[in-house]
Every structure is written in structure tokens, then in C-alpha cells.
Structure 1
Amino acid sequence: MKNIILLLLFVFIAVNSFAQVHTVKGIVMNDANDDLLENVNIVNLNQVIGTTTNQKGEFEISATVNDTLYFSYLGFKSLRVRVTHDWLRFGDIKVKMTELGIALEEVVVRPVQLTGYVEIDAKLIPVYDNYRYRIGGLNTGYEGGSSQPGAVNKVLSSIFNPADFLYNVFGKRPKQMRKVQKMKEDDEIRNLLQSKFDRETLMAVLQLERVDIDEILNKCSYSKDFIQSANDLQILDAISNCYEEYKILNRKK
């Protein structure tokens, strides 16, 4: 009996130590020349908190053993690094990121040729019909767009159909969806997402592919223009709004 109690006590101490939050430190460098990288974005995918490197490439972030840190920097390949006991034991580590070749696509700008006559020019100027639907009782609406005239019916049918895509994403991923709110509350992550358009950080935290994120917004009746042009912070807020409305309407089933 005594041995069992001692064993349980040992297991309890080990588990408690394993889950203890530490401050991990490191330096981020360019793998090609060992130059220090400033303003590298780092997100703890498990704790959903973020930070950036300073002028010396140094960073600090809270983490537990087995947490995954996600490193992203413009022009470099993103990295995932697992926090280990050795990292905690030996202190600072060097994280080296690989530079990518950036190919810029040619952009063709076609200006609108105006004639000076109001009646004619009014027909030449393009009109972007990205409007939003609102469901009574909810704080926000749904962006429809000219290609989705039945947005309200589409959203409601999506929510009330258990086999629908939204149910499979929202209903079966409560842990990932809870991270959405954490991301919105962390200023470092919000600042990061506001300047990004690649969806990489969102995909890493939510464990979704780019096509899944686009499909979520499509099912929530956001326009194609919004899905393609919004920054990652706007996409995060859109997913969050859609999820909150999903929960409200799902409770009424």
C-alpha cells in the first residue's frame, strides 16, 4: 500500500512538472549567413499566444513541454519547433530559417476611361455589389454578394443540417474553435494577422487547410471578393462571427 501511494505521488509530481509553464528563450537566424532576424513572428500554437524577435533576433515566450512554436517571416519558409526538456534544460536555442525566392506575379491595371459626361461615366464605373444580410436578433450579418441572392436561406440550412460542412468544422472542432477567441484577445497575434494575407498562421492554429477556411467563409455567405482580399485579421473576425452565430442558432434547433 505504501509503495502504491509513493508511486502515485511520483506520477503526480511528474505530470505536474510536465505541464508546468516555462519561459523559453531563443535566437532566430538566417540559415544562409547566420544574420539575426528582427520582427520574426512566433506563435505558440497550443497556448495561442504570440511574440516577435527583437533587434538581436532574440525572443521569449511562455510554453510547456511539447508545445509547438510556429515561426513566420516574410520571404522565409515557416517553421514549427517543438519545445523539449532539453530546450528547458540548456536554455537559449538557435532557430534557423531558410530564405525563399519570391516571384511577383505581373499585375495589369486597367484604368476606367471617363468621357466627362455624367450619364455615360456612371455606366462605365464598375459597381461592386458586396452587400450583407442580417438575421434578426443577431449582432452581425452575412456578406452576400451578387452571386448569392439566397444567403440567409443558405446559412440557415447549413446550420440546421447536421451533415453540413459547417457542422463538421464547428461542431466537431470545439478545441480549435476556442482558439479563435484566444487569438482575438492576444495583441501580438492581432498585430501579426493584420499585416498578413497568406492564411498560414490561421491554418496552423486552427489545423485547417486554406481551402477549408475559404469554404467556411463561403458557407457563411461572405463574398468571393472578401475571401480573396481580406487580411488574416479580418478573416479571423469573420470566422469568429460565423462561429458565434452558428452556436446561437444551433441552440435553437
Structure 2
Amino acid sequence: MYKLKNIIIIIFACLASNYVSAQEFIIKGVVFEKGSNLRVALAEITNQRTAIGVGSNDLGLFQLKAKLGDTLLITKRSLADQRIIVKGTQDVIIYLIRESTMLDEVNIIGNTKKQDLEDIKRDFRNKGVYNGGKSSVLSSIFSPLNALYNLVGKDPKNARRFGRYADNEIKQSQIDVYFNQSIIKNNTELRGDTLENYMLNFRPDFEKAQYWNNYDYIKYIKESSKKYTDTLGKGK
């Protein structure tokens, strides 16, 4: 009787273990460059079992569905590929090794697009253009000459134009983190001209996508690409 009870316990333990390993869960992680501890944005993380991939965001963070035992492939240009096996539901830290000691110019400068845009805005301010080329009531009262310059000067007009451009560029760069060729290729069959046309005609609006996460983008890519390919089929 005692042996039978032990056998039943072992069977239930095995069944429970198999049930846990068969369940998908969301694994979270962060990608660093080894040696510098810089977070790696736009790294591609692909579950090789499902062939579904996501990109790391500006902070190097990502989320991806996985099961115990799955292999994740992490790739990034100029950094060596890395593979890890999912051994649990805990968050993972991934270190990628630079393939050569030569640093890209952009890494030496260390500027992001947002920083570059802020630098240009600072140049406008140094020229006497304040508030993006718009004079506030207080500045008009206490700095009438600056207010007049903002109204008639050439640089203020350019500053206003740049302000609109900068805001749009920052918004579009947020979309580029997830809506890019690598992620779309990982989740669709689109290639070449059809891929470029799809990206041009189905790029999501920032107002709609600003609160999306990885899975919202993947869902959108799968649904909109199907709509796109269905349209191509009708055209034939």
C-alpha cells in the first residue's frame, strides 16, 4: 500500500511537471552589451520554436511568449549572436559581445536621434530664438526686442518648422522600434518590393500606436499584412 501511494505521488508529480513545461508564458528580459553595460536597442529576439520575433526597445527591454526549454536567438548588427535556453519564468539578462574592437561613429558620439534634435533646438535658443519661435505674453513684456525678433526674424520661422519636424521624428522613431523590416520579416512572408509597399501603406499612426506593446504591434502586423496580401490576390 505504501509503495502504491509513492507511485501515485510520482505519477502526479510527473504530470504536473509536464503540464507546467507545456504552458506558454511571457518571458521578460533586457539586453546589454558586455563590457560596457550599455543597453542594446533594436536587438532581435526570436523564439526558434515558434519563429516569432520581437525587438528590444530603447531601454533594451523585451517581452516574448515562450515555454520551458525553448531556445531564444538574440541578434544585433556588430554584436555576436547569442542563444539562451528558457529554464524558468524569471526575467533574463542577456549580454551580447561586440564582434570587433572598432566602435561605430554613432556609438562614439553616443547621441540618439532625440538628443540630436534637442541639440539643434539648443542652437536656435543660442541664436536668440526662444519658445520654438513663439513669444509668450511675459517674454513680450519683459523682452520686447526678442518678441519682435520672433515675429519677423527668419530663424524663428525655421524654429517653428523644426519644432514640428522634431516632434514628428521622435514619434516616428518610437514606431520604428517595432515596425521595421526585421520584425515584419520574422512575422510575415513579405519580402522585397511587397515588403516596402506594405510598410509604406500600412504604417500605424502614432495616435493609435503610442500605447501599444510588443504583442499589439505583432498582432497589427499579422492582421494588416494578411489584409495587404489579400488585396494583392484580388489584384491578380
Q: Same fold (TM over 0.5)?
A: no
Larger Rg: 2
TM-score (norm 2): 0.41
**Larger % of helix: which?**
2
TM-score (norm 1): 0.38
